[in-house]
Chain A
Amino acid sequence: AQSVSQHNHHVILSEAASLELGCNYSYGGTVNLFWYVQYPGQHLQLLLKYFSGDPLVKGIKGFEAEFIKSKFSFNLRKPSVQWSDTAEYFCAVRGIGYGQNFVFGPGTRLSVLP
């Protein structure tokens, strides 16, 4: 069965600090990987995705993530966070194939202090 774990439940940073959110997954096959962000009171938005190729992927708003296959990890990074990055961040995996469902990690709440 697929599962996703995220290293931190709540991360508190000051503006301009660097961010790294950990994500590990368990799945017996090839996966697609995603990071979603949910701002307070809003819906899920896709930050970035990995399907194949270059394991370092760049997303919106200056975020990037690195897929390390040997570690089953897909960590999210941002060099300098802003107050507006305060949100809940979800890592998700999906098996290859039609109708496969998305499995979400428990989420990491990021609070950025001005």
Chain B
Amino acid sequence: DTEVTQTPKHLVMGMTNKKSLKCEQHMGHRAMYWYKQKAKKPPELMFVYSYEKLSINESVPSRFSPECPNSSLLNLHLHALQPEDSALYLCASSQNREAFFGQGTRLTVV
């Protein structure tokens, strides 16, 4: 199984809503990532978890809150987002070498 599964695939939320994005992998990878990708732009790193501990936070606003409850799961909690936060949110996992990316959650903030 070389899949990274993200849910939901699409999400529309209001600026006062609280929602969560979920990411799951069963490859035994101990590094997991959240990226944000705007249209026609490269993915931008948001967070890196290594052995379930947050190791990199790329100065992401506090309205984005990551969580790694165990080695297979990665969540991104969203609260009070802005319309400019609308983007494709990608999760990835790696074990020292290549990364496997999920299909992403396309988020629209209205």
Contact = CB atoms under 8 A, between A and B. Distances in A.
Contacts, number: 57
B41 to A, nearest CB: 7
B97 A101 contact: no
A34 B99 CA distance: 10
Contacts of B43: 44, 90, 102, 104
Contacts of B55: 99
A72 B41 CA distance: 23
> What band does the interface of chain A fall in when counting residues whose beta carbon is under 8 Å from B?
20 to 34
B92 A102 contact: yes
B58 to A, nearest CB: 8
A1 B43 CA distance: 17
A1 to B, nearest CB: 12
23 contacts: A32-B98, A34-B98, A34-B99, A43-B90, A43-B102, A43-B103, A43-B104, A44-B43, A49-B98, A51-B97, A94-B94, A94-B97, A94-B99, A97-B96, A98-B30, A98-B50, A99-B48, A99-B55, A101-B33, A102-B45, A102-B99, A104-B42, A107-B41
